């Protein structure tokens, strides 16, 4: 790192369990973020500000006035712009040293098959069951840790699915693909802005710890004593800010991760 980077990331470097090598890993890392809305917007800002060297953001939508209640990477002046371009402008304004690739299209199988093997972490910031299942399947196939979250009304949840760990379930273990729930989206039912923002910030936090070396083979100098959310489902009730933590186990019959 040069002197400017040392100053920019100095509050990380002051942490006892965040050596310079951890920040160097961030600077060399590639994060793929799928969705630049309520979850993706805060996650992207924190990934950029923390110094993730390369960030690919995927989203087919444009900025609308109704987004601005919670999607903090966008602004009134950027209504009508592709969300990925708006997010890139916000990210580079915070940290011009970050390389941002903006992909203004839906996250289909062909695109993800190309991009995910290049990634060090994937953030699922989408809001449909079928897309979540697709991301999980292709991230698991690529061997890339996946950080996923959701928020609706006053409730949020977050987990990590890490194919590098033999004890980690995948998303399909918790939510079987052959049992889709009734689709519920904030466009119809609403969402409390701080809840979705908090879930997105936590996604960034989990991703940053993974990129810094948490759980990586041979890395012993970073985040000693910290635990990942792999194997756990953390749920928030925004009505009283209470948390529930559930253990999540691998399903031996899972169609995605069951057969090794």
State the pTM of this model.
0.95
**Residue whose pair of structure tokens reads 């033999």 in the numeric block:** 166
- pLDDT of amino acid 59: 98
- pLDDT of amino acid 142: 97
In this structure, are strands 155-161 and 99-103 parallel, antiparallel, or unpaired?
A: unpaired
The two tokens of residue 103 are 């992909």
Which residue among 125, 170, 173, 186 is the active-site one?
Answer: 186
Instruction: Quote the CA–CA distance of 206 and 57 in Å, as a whole number.
Output: 17
Write down the domain spans for the chain: 3-247
Q: Is position 173 annotated as part of the catalytic site?
A: no
In this structure, are strands 54-58 and 30-34 parallel, antiparallel, or unpaired?
A: parallel
CATH superfamily name and code, 3-247: NAD(P)-binding Rossmann-like Domain (3.40.50.720)
- State the DSSP H helix or E strand holding residue 238, giving kind and residue range, or none if neither: none
Tens digit of each residue's pLDDT, the chain (260 residues): 899 999 999 999 999 889 999 999 999 999 999 999 999 999 999 999 999 999 999 999 999 999 999 999 999 999 999 999 999 999 999 999 999 999 999 999 999 999 999 999 999 999 999 999 999 999 999 999 999 999 999 999 999 999 999 889 999 999 998 877 766 666 678 999 999 999 999 999 999 999 998 877 767 777 877 889 999 999 999 999 999 999 999 999 999 998 75
Helix ranges (H only) for 28-82 are 40-50
């Amino acid at each position: 790192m040069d002197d400017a980077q040392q100053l920019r990331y100095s509050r990380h470097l002051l942490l006892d369990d965040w050596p310079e090598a951890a920040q160097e890993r961030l600077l060399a890392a590639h994060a793929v973020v799928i969705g630049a809305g309520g979850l993706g917007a805060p996650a992207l800002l924190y990934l950029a500000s923390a110094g993730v060297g390369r960030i690919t953001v995927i989203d087919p939508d444009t900025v609308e006035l109704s987004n601005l209640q919670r999607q903090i990477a966008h602004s009134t002046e950027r209504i009508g712009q592709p969300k990925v371009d708006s997010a890139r402008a916000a990210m580079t304004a915070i940290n011009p040293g970050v390389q941002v690739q903006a992909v203004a299209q839906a996250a289909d199988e062909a695109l993800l098959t190309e991009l995910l093997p290049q990634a060090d972490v994937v953030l699922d910031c989408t809001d449909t069951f079928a897309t979540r299942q697709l991301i999980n399947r292709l991230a698991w196939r690529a061997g890339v840790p996946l950080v996923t979250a959701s928020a609706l009304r006053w409730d949020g949840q977050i987990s990590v699915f890490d194919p590098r760990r033999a004890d980690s379930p995948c998303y399909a273990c918790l939510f079987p693909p052959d049992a889709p729930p009734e689709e519920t989206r904030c466009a119809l039912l609403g969402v409390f802005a701080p809840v979705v923002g908090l879930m997105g910030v936590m996604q960034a936090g989990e991703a940053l710890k993974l990129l810094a070396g948490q759980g990586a083979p041979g890395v012993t100098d970073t985040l000693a004593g910290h635990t990942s959310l792999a194997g756990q489902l953390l749920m928030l009730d925004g009505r009283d800010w209470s948390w529930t933590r559930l253990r999540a186990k691998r399903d031996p019959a899972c169609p995605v991760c069951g057969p090794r």
